[in-house]
Structures are given as C-alpha cells and as structure tokens.
Amino acid sequence: MNSLSSFVLGAASSNNASGYSGIILIILMVALMYFFMIRPQQKQRKEHQEMMNELHPGDEVVTIGRMHGKIDSINKADRTVTLDCEGIYLTFDMVAIARVVKRADAPASEAPQNNEADSASSAVDSADAATADSAANETTSAASANDEQK
C-alpha cells in the first residue's frame, strides 16, 4: 500500500525514474480523458452542426423536448426554425432540433433526370398502391360483414 501511494504521488526515492512516474501517470490520464471524453464530444458536435446546415423546409424533425413536427421555415439570421405541429406553428432555436426523422423530397431542379428509373419506380409504386387498395377494401368489407352480423 505504501509503495502504491508513493508511486501515485511521485514521492522521491533512491531511483530517479520513480520520481518522474507521477508526472507520466498524470500525462497519461489527461491523454485518456482527451480520447475518451473530449474527442467524441467534438465529433458529435460536428455531426450535429452538419445536420443543422442540411435542414430544409418540409423535413420532419424531433426537438430535444421530443416534440415532432415538420419544418415550415428557417431563419438563418436568428438561427430559428418554425415547426408545423399539426397546424400549430412553434418557433425553436436551431440547436433545439435533436434529429431529422424524414428528409423532404428534393426539388425538381435538383432531382436527376432518369426516365427509365422513374418509370420503373412508378410501376412499383402503382403495384404497391393497388396492393394497399385491395387490402383496405378487404378490411372494409370484413368490418361491414361483422357489423351486419351484430
């Protein structure tokens, strides 16, 4: 126990190397704190700033208070965001945005022009819509059959 405390405190002894062991230990602890605490926080702050720079009206976001809404407008001068929360418009600081749930569709001027991919995706979308419509009709007919039986 006594040797451990003299090692940690860097107490002088007959060996010169043990005198520097306390300083080396403190430097090692500071380096570990940097790599396990400070550096990840800087990385997280940088990612959040990139997310803030990519916000656009129409994006669905969640605030730090867990309020869900769609961005109506962004004021970069005041660094505020106006959210549409089911018809109620609320203004928040941009730093209050915790995460983006769903990005808004890109404007037509920024979207790539690829007719083959568009036609293939619209065929898939129409097939999905037809499947969803038939499932909805089956659910409606089953519900009305249950109502008639009662």
User: Residue 25 — very low, low, confident or very high, per pLDDT cuts 50/70/90?
Assistant: very high
Q: What's the pLDDT at 102?
A: 85
Give the residue-averaged pLDDT of 88-103. 91
Higher pLDDT, 111 or 90: 90
- Identify the pLDDT of residue 135: 45
Across the range 70-92, mean pLDDT stands at 92
Smallest Cα–Cα separation from 56: which of 103, 111, 108, 101? Answer: 103
Separation CA 79–CA 96 (nearest Å): 10
Residue 29 or 136, more confident: 29
Residues 62 and 51: beta-carbon distance below 8 Å? no
Domains and their CATH numbers in the chain: 2-50 (no CATH), 54-102 (2.30.30.30)
Q: pLDDT tens-digit profile of 33-76?
A: 999 999 999 999 999 999 888 889 999 999 999 999 999 999 98
Query: 100: which 2 tokens?
Result: 């983006």
What pLDDT is recorded for position 23?
92
| pTM for the model | 0.49
